[in-house]
A and B are shown apart, each in its own frame.
Chain A
Amino acid sequence: MDEKNLTDEQKMRRISRRSFVWALISVFGAYGGIRFITSRSQDMGVPWPLRRSLDFTDSLSKDLVQKNTPEFKNQKLTKPVRVNSDIGQGDATREDYAFTISGAGADDIKVSMVELLKMPKTTQVTEFHCIEGWTQTVEWTGVRLSDVMTKYPVMMADGSKVLPGHEGFSKYVGMETADGAYYVGLDMESAMHPQTMLCYEMNGEALPDEHGGPLRLVIPVKYGVKNIKWVGSMTYADDRPKDYWAEQGYDWFAGL
């Protein structure tokens, strides 16, 4: 039938039919899209399309890591500091504590607490953001991770040194508790950040056991989950190191 000879009611019916067919297709399309995502194989705790999207957002965030996160020198410290996890506390005592560095050369390097305490000391008041959504203001004291990594650079087979931040140094740093129960992976930019430290004092006192004593990582550019407590070893790695919470569906970068 010629379109021109239709009444308006007939035209409306014709347009409606066409539009609602499109609407139906769209509804099925949307439903199919969601079903597609949820039915994909899991990649570290989430369907792989979601994992890809998290990694994509991370890749943008990486370039945005700031020189310095805000400090809160005059702000009231949160007390008591919340204890949220004991994964990785293990049975190790302070007396036999040792910190091991792997990937710097042929052999692992053992660094004692005494050696770490002799290195330049730094104090900062920063916000600690938990991935659950709460925040605390804490004063941390310790040694900059960049200082530790510079002191223990990668030793090549020919005896030459490669300092962090230079060509040939690893791209990532992995850290683990002594019992291996908890572990985190860090990108080099965040590890070398001036506010990233191996911490041994909290709010002016020796780091309490439940907060990771004697040694923990403090990395304000990351969510709390990356601030590994009871850190027993550090590995220079070229592949993205495993990460306890990333394996359970969280994004690996966990940046703020």
Chain B
Amino acid sequence: MGEPEITPPVHADQQPTIDSGHLAPKFQVLQKKHPLAIRWFHWINFPVLFIMIWSGVLIYWANDVYGIFGFHFFPDSWYKRFGWDSRLAEGMAWHFTFMWVFSINGLLYVLYLLLSGEWRQFVPDRKSLKQAIQVVLHDLYLSKRSLPRQKFNGAQKFAYTGIIFMGFGSLVTGLAIFRPLQLPWLTALLGGYEFARILHFILMLSFCAFFLVHVAQVVKAGWNNFRAMVTGYEMAPADEEGL
């Protein structure tokens, strides 16, 4: 109607007027990212998983028979250096105490995902595999194609769904070697006592690998992303509000 164009105010309640994205810098708006429940489940799990792995290594020391490609889990120098040796009883006491916290926290997390519908954000879909490959190539600096901005990309969907199965795997293989005579069907299902123990150990290594990649990605993603896991909110470009 011949009125002069108004510059959009920097305010959350108002949708910005059309911004093609290549002119002025986009202004940032506050946006909800992670629900409170998920943040609690996540941050409770972090120290608990650490205790489970640490105490698990104290137990494993008593019969440390595994190795691969000439590498022995674990070299004697590691046990000495980290004080992991001769603490079997202590390891069992911690492991069989915090297994309750680990299991209950994990089960409540899965229950929450199912009931709240949040699971939809985590489960990979048809596009996820292609996208996951793209993400991996990008993160290894093998591809320069920029990634689409979204809450969880394909690689994350696989990782965060996978970690739930890993947790479940640790629980059932753990039970199979914790009570092989009271749950003989479970132990048999998992290939017997020895094999279930190997699976339990491999899952522990997988958790360690997950942890390393996860932390590296968090560092790479930066403060805004990390802050969202604590506060629940992130600052996002305005035109992607409600992503």
Name A's B-contacting residues (CB within 8 A).
7-9, 11-12, 15-16, 18-20, 23, 26, 30, 45-46, 49-51, 53-54, 57, 61, 64-66, 69-70, 127, 129-135, 220-221, 245, 248-251, 255-256
Give chain A nearest CB distance to B217 CB in angstroms. 20
The answer to the question of B59 belonging to the interface, with a C-beta cut-off of 8 Å to chain A, is yes
* Set B11, B92, B184, B232: member contacting A19, Cβ < 8 A: B232
In terms of DSSP, what is the predominant structure of the interface of chain B?
A: helix
- B-chain residues with CB within 8 Å of residue A54 when the two chains form the complex: 93, 96-97
Closest to B192 in A: A135
Contact call A133/B182, Cβ cutoff below 8 A:
no
* Set A53, A65, A131: member contacting B182, Cβ < 8 A: A65
- A-chain residues with CB within 8 Å of residue B182 when the two chains form the complex: 61, 64-66, 255-256
CA distance A49 to B235 in the complex (A): 43
* Set A7, A30, A249: member contacting B47, Cβ < 8 A: A30
Q: A7-B10, A9-B235, A54-B93 are in contact. List 16 more A-B contacts (CB 8 A).
A: A7-B12, A46-B93, A50-B93, A50-B94, A50-B97, A53-B97, A129-B180, A131-B88, A131-B92, A132-B88, A133-B59, A133-B62, A134-B65, A248-B89, A249-B89, A255-B182
CA distance A65 to B181 in the complex (A): 8
Q: Chain B 161-201, CB within 8 Å of chain A: the 1/0 string?
A: 00000000000000000011110100000000110010000
- A-chain residues with CB within 8 Å of residue B181 when the two chains form the complex: 66, 69-70, 129, 220-221, 255-256
- B-chain residues with CB within 8 Å of residue A9 when the two chains form the complex: 28, 235
- A-chain residues with CB within 8 Å of residue B231 when the two chains form the complex: 12, 15-16, 18-20
The answer to the question of B120 belonging to the interface, with a C-beta cut-off of 8 Å to chain A, is no
Interface size class of B (residues with CB under 8 A): 35 or more
Most A CB atoms within 10 A — which of B29, B62, B89, B194?
B89
Are A19 and B230 also in contact (CB < 8 A) when A8-B10, A132-B62 are? Answer: yes
- CB proximity to A under 8 Å, residues B186-243: 193-194, 197, 227, 230-233, 235
Contact call B96/A57, Cβ cutoff below 8 A:
yes
Closest to B9 in A: A7
* Set A8, A15, A70, A132: member contacting B184, Cβ < 8 A: A70
The answer to the question of B90 belonging to the interface, with a C-beta cut-off of 8 Å to chain A, is yes
The answer to the question of B43 belonging to the interface, with a C-beta cut-off of 8 Å to chain A, is yes
- B-chain residues with CB within 8 Å of residue A65 when the two chains form the complex: 182
Most A CB atoms within 10 A — which of B65, B197, B231, B233?
B231
- B-chain residues with CB within 8 Å of residue A7 when the two chains form the complex: 10-12
Contact call B93/A134, Cβ cutoff below 8 A:
no
Give chain B nearest CB distance to A219 CB in angstroms. 11
Contact call A135/B96, Cβ cutoff below 8 A:
no
Closest to B235 in A: A12
Contact call B230/A8, Cβ cutoff below 8 A:
no
Contact call A249/B184, Cβ cutoff below 8 A:
no
CA distance A256 to B182 in the complex (A): 7
Give chain A nearest CB distance to B115 CB in angstroms. 24
Contact call A20/B230, Cβ cutoff below 8 A:
yes
CA distance A220 to B60 in the complex (A): 22
Contact call B232/A127, Cβ cutoff below 8 A:
no
CA distance A49 to B89 in the complex (A): 14
Contact call A69/B227, Cβ cutoff below 8 A:
no
Contact call A26/B97, Cβ cutoff below 8 A:
no
CA distance A66 to B186 in the complex (A): 14
Closest to A69 in B: B181
- B-chain residues with CB within 8 Å of residue A251 when the two chains form the complex: 92-93, 96
Contact call B193/A8, Cβ cutoff below 8 A:
no
* Set B63, B90, B96, B233: member contacting A15, Cβ < 8 A: B233
* Set B28, B30, B193, B232: member contacting A129, Cβ < 8 A: B193
- B-chain residues with CB within 8 Å of residue A129 when the two chains form the complex: 180-181, 193
Closest to A5 in B: B11
Contact call B96/A53, Cβ cutoff below 8 A:
yes
Give chain A nearest CB distance to B171 CB in angstroms. 15
- B-chain residues with CB within 8 Å of residue A245 when the two chains form the complex: 89
The answer to the question of B119 belonging to the interface, with a C-beta cut-off of 8 Å to chain A, is no
Give chain B nearest CB distance to A235 CB in angstroms. 25
**4 residue pairs, one from A and one from B, having the closest CB atoms:** A249-B89, A133-B63, A132-B62, A19-B231
- A-chain residues with CB within 8 Å of residue B78 when the two chains form the complex: none
CA distance A133 to B60 in the complex (A): 8
